Structure 1
């Protein structure tokens, strides 16, 4: 009898724990579903105050107690005056794009631009802080098209390059009305690269056969494991040249004062040389430009942050690590797809 009683108590505990786990798992699944529905969040921050606070901190450190109190009163008075004049000031919408091989930041860029275009007027300005060494053609083509949405609405677009805007990065930058570059930034690389290894001879040496079947003469031009043909190579080179011609036409249509045949060699220029070649319009860091603009306009930094699950975060960390290694040889990408 005691055994049955103990067994009954044990069974009740098991059932209770099992039901608790089911309820908790159900709540987590429901919560996860809600989170997935909200893919991301848009953040908007006015950075004029941040810029002003940096200057105030230095100024306050150099003043005595009485002078600091006087300064605080004056700041409050100035703030009220600025509030009255707020409607008269122009606005600058600040976006940031840091590119990888897949231009994955375009997912956020498209949301940010959609949000900005819902509010921006022709007298406003959009400034993009751009950093990219290029990557896949279709990905950077889409990114450039997103920036072109701003131009089509008649809103001034300025691109600031502090480090690098090369290849696909320059494809994006050239859309702007004005390109500002730091003196030692890297600009240009208007070219196309496609490279892949071929293991056919190695496989033959070890008596390994590879069969490749396609429908369409040029469905596959070059392969990694099959035997490549002269016809395939010619078609591969023809495709690369066609993309390069389109790249040149795209840059030339946006930067009409460029000698496109001279600069479309895949060469990279430092900012000072890029100015001489008309690849950029002025030598200036983004900090210098934004501080100067903050005196005449309200600057709003717009960021769209995507929610990521733990597996996505782990996968992204791995991808970023691979990207950082590949970008060291960004002009020699080991990729069977075309890259700019």
Structure 2
């Protein structure tokens, strides 16, 4: 028994020391993480090199040596003639926005837009490859404002939608001078939705009181645990209608060709139908459009990366995984399919 008592004391002291060391290491990691968060960096990739590498790899496999030699000679001659003529290709800046519920990609978008506007001219173009099913109103409002800066600067803006631009996603897409969509991309959902469970009857059944104290008649309208009133519901619905009206006005300002009352019903349309509703301008994938532009312009892909600590990366990974699971299940429940 004495041995066990001594061993337990030794084990307790060892665990205490290990915990203390872990706490110190965690504190150091957090401090270093905050230091690293002080800045990020902008990555710029020349997409012409990417398309050229694809083309040359295929040419090298398909053409014989004589054909390949003649082709390279012709390309070199055309390049020299272009340089001699003093012609400068326009620049196309390519941005990617993959939206979640909080429009988190807007944090990077703001820096990318700031960078390109420091050099872009009205002779250039900005292409945004946009994918988003929407989310929080204020978050997508801010993200939309970043794209509006491009329009205000007079730089042509093209938005490409390969899969989905709905709700807040379409709020961003409508800012483009031109919207391109894949034939089966999902667009629209110009509406506002809010939903929450209410556990009041469950709490009442188990004799549990829940009190909310407020100052201001409409500080709280609908609650999760309290008893909701008709007056509260009416006010909440009124707020939704106001937000919907602002959404409609925003879309109508950038897409005046729309019959806004006909499309602002919360419905979504696939690419071909969206073209008929004038929600998009052309049916074309981003790959097709960019590969065409690469023949006549210099393409630069911009990506801003913010330095994050290990804890932040783990948290973001967990959040992204949860968002992905919820989105997949929602898609399975709500999206049309080609099978049953």
Could you tell me how far 1:174 is from its partner in structure 2?
A: 0.3
- What are the equivalent positions in structure 2 for 1:235-254 lying under 5 Å apart? 235-254=235-254
1:191 and 2:178 are equivalent in the alignment: no
Report the equivalent of 2:98.
Answer: 98
CA shift digits 1:278-334 (9 cap, x unpaired): 00000000011111111111010011011121111111111112212333438x99x
Could you tell me how far 1:108 is from its partner in structure 2?
A: 0.2
> Where do 5+ consecutive residues of structure 1 fail to align?
1-20, 334-340
- What are the equivalent positions in structure 2 for 1:1-340 lying under 5 Å apart? 32=33, 34-37=35-38, 39-76=39-76, 78=78, 88-327=88-327, 328-329=329-330
Could you tell me how far 1:30 is from its partner in structure 2?
A: 8.0
Q: State the alpha-carbon separation in 2 of the partners of residues 306 and 86 from structure 1.
A: 39
How many residues align structurally?
310
Moved more, 64-73 or 316-325: 64-73
Report the equivalent of 2:14.
Answer: none
Q: State the alpha-carbon separation in 2 of the partners of residues 29 and 198 from structure 1.
A: 38
1:97 partner SS: strand
Stretches of 4+ moved more than 6 A in 1? Answer: 24-30
CA shift digits 1:158-190 (9 cap, x unpaired): 000000000000000001100000000000000
Could you tell me how far 1:52 is from its partner in structure 2?
A: 1.6
Could you tell me how far 1:67 is from its partner in structure 2?
A: 3.8
Superposition CA RMSD, Å:
2.5
Q: State the alpha-carbon separation in 2 of the partners of residues 324 and 34 from structure 1.
A: 30
CA shift digits 1:45-84 (9 cap, x unpaired): 1111211221121111112234434544555555555666
Q: State the alpha-carbon separation in 1 of the partners of residues 83 and 239 from structure 2.
A: 57
* TM-score relative to the length of structure 2: 0.85
